[in-house]
Amino acid sequence: MGYLVVAFAAVWIGIAGYLGWLALRLRGARAELAAVSELVRESSAEKS
């Protein structure tokens, strides 16, 4: 029974870690998207 509890805890720790890793990647992608958006905005402002 103890192994089942340890396995259950390990799975949930793994899921939480994976979700944290995804959140960090998403934050980075949003930052890159904002930078690209700003570059496009600047580029279109220069052409106008």
Domain ranges of the chain: 1-48
Label residue 33 left, alpha or beta by phi (over 0 means left) and psi (-120 to 50 means alpha).
alpha
pLDDT tens for 1-48 read: 899 999 999 999 999 999 999 999 999 999 999 999 999 998 888 776
Q: Give the per-residue pLDDT at 35.
A: 94
Question: Burial level of 43, CB count in 10 A (0-12/13-18/19+)?
Answer: exposed
Confidence (pLDDT) at 43: 86
Question: What pLDDT is stored for residue 46 in this prediction?
Answer: 79
Phi, psi of 12 (to 5 degrees): -70, -35
pLDDT of the residue at 48: 66
H-assigned helices in 1-48: 2-47
